[in-house]
Amino acid sequence: MIAINHHLQASDLLSKLTSFWELSGNKIKLINKNYDVSKGSPVFTVKGKYSTRGWTEWTQGFQFGSAILQYDATGEKEFLESGRKKTLEVMAPHISHIGVHDHGFNNVSTYGNLLRLMHEGKTDYNEWEKNFYELALKISGAVQASRWTNIKNGGFIHSFNGPHSLFVDTIRSCRALVVSHLLGHVFQAENDVKINLLERALLHIKATADYSVFYGEGRDSYDIWGRTAHESVFNTKDGNFRCPNSQQGYSGFTTWTRGLAWAMCGFAEELECLETITDAELEIVGGRKQTETFMLKAAKATCDFYIEHTPIDGIPYWDTGAPNLYELGDYSERPADPYNDFEPVDSSAAAIGAQGLLRLGKYLSGKGQAEDGKKYTQTGLTVLNTLLDEPYQSTDPNHQGLLLHSIYHRPNGWDYVPEESKIPYGESSMWGDYHMRELALYVQRMINKEPYYTFYSCVQ
């Protein structure tokens, strides 16, 4: 389990963060200079060069969102102009993309961050530009909400696999629905029937909590507090849940750690957002107490599982049930080894999960639960401290990635394996790089006592 550094302060990381942003800026410039945009969105690196992979277009918002975060952290206007220009030129198809469950990734990371910076006074105020960003976010949330499957106790935003498929990842796309709702958008269907976007977001989060997260309550033989399944499969004829499954993890009965991290971050940030929503609005899903209770239970369970089943330095292997982990012996009682001969680590899961730990820690501290709040906060800082050092920082000036040892799709064999190795290592992903920047920005803004960074800060 993670060896939590209980004495580490966020301010202790300031010098590392300064070096990180310098490195980050160089990587963005390197990609802008060398990546061939005609090949599609950059997804992950092969021998240090970003490549694409046609599955779904879910990473382009991370590319341009990274430049926007870089400006936020450093004030370097060239990154703002680059991110803003590319958002205008390239991102429109992502707003109306009906074939993906990734609107919270692509559009909140670009249009949302640009709108937030304007509200914070970090960019010049322009009424038409503000309206443009708001319109993009309104429509994006509605398009995402249209991927809807009804089940016996609610419904969910279905994955690109089809209407039977609930992905744990999609909890982070609930941001798109919530932002659209907070901006006052009216989503209409046949016969002008109005669909409540907040209700759909919260029903999806509830389905994720009920079916993607396990609580040690005897659901099956592998029911452990906080374990997650990547995919939950439903019978669309009668709305019944059928089984857990996995696309990118080892199996439906093991825990793919990036899926776990999406849940950790998603539940924590949506818990924070509940503070901005009125009691009356929450009555449609059973009220505030019921909603907060199930979301907090899922957030704590997933974060606890991460702490318990991750090596001491806070970097997980790609799946806690990966078939060759036994070859590593007692791997959880020593730092993760990205260069081992048996199973790869996934640093992107660490970057995503650490943000969830920090947000949950702050939420609980604000509720007067100081001891639990400190546990999760200190764990998040411990993970970040590891990620800010080698071998996870990509210091090679010719490597286009920022965060090393990220894994995309181990079962499909999509990750590059060096000739001298039996497993993939040493590569980066666009989501890993973006979430590493988001994590670093979150902590830096807290150190500098800037406004607290949330996805819903784009709504004034």
pLDDT value of residue 299 = 98
Residue 121: exposure state from Cβ atoms within 10 A (0-12, 13-18, ≥19): exposed
pLDDT value of residue 228 = 98
With CA atoms as reference, report the closest residue to 273 among 201, 224, 354: 201
The reply to whether 198 falls in a domain is yes
Conformational region of residue 286, where left means phi above 0, alpha means psi within -120 to 50, and beta covers everything else = left
The reply to whether 420 falls in a domain is yes
pLDDT value of residue 40 = 82
Please state, in angstroms and as integers, the Cα–Cα distance from residue 398 to each residue in 17, 31, 323, 401, following that order.
21, 10, 34, 9
pLDDT value of residue 97 = 95
Per-residue pLDDT for 206 more than 90?
A: yes
pLDDT value of residue 369 = 97
> Does residue 315 contact residue 336 with C-beta atoms inside 8 Å?
yes
- Residue numbers in the known binding site are 102, 258, 262
Instruction: Give the three-state DSSP class for 241.
Output: strand
pLDDT value of residue 57 = 82
Mean pLDDT, residues 72-88 taken together: 98
Token digits for 256?
Answer: 């793919």
Residue 193's domain is classified under what CATH number? 1.50.10.10
Q: Give the count of domains, the chain.
A: 1
pLDDT value of residue 46 = 97
Q: Which domain holds residue 284?
A: 10-458
Per-residue pLDDT for 112 more than 90?
A: yes
The reply to whether 247 falls in a domain is yes
b/e code 20-33 from CB counts within 10 Å (16+ = b): bbeebbebbebbee
The reply to whether 103 falls in a domain is yes
Residue 54's pLDDT band (boundaries 50, 70, 90)?
A: confident
> Does residue 176 contact residue 147 with C-beta atoms inside 8 Å?
no
The reply to whether 4 falls in a domain is no
Residue 4's pLDDT band (boundaries 50, 70, 90)?
A: very high
> Does residue 27 contact residue 395 with C-beta atoms inside 8 Å?
no
pLDDT value of residue 36 = 84
The reply to whether 5 falls in a domain is no
The reply to whether 314 falls in a domain is yes
The reply to whether 1 falls in a domain is no
- Residue numbers in the known binding site for substrate are 102, 258, 262
**pLDDT tens-digit profile of 311-351?**
999 999 999 999 999 999 999 999 999 999 999 999 999 99
> Does residue 311 contact residue 332 with C-beta atoms inside 8 Å?
yes
Instruction: State residue 241 phi and psi, 5-degree precision.
Output: -70, 140
**Number of helical (H) and strand (E) elements in the chain, helices listed first:** 15, 9
Token digits for 301?
Answer: 């369970």
> Does residue 225 contact residue 231 with C-beta atoms inside 8 Å?
no
Mean of the per-residue pLDDT values of the chain: 97
pLDDT value of residue 216 = 97
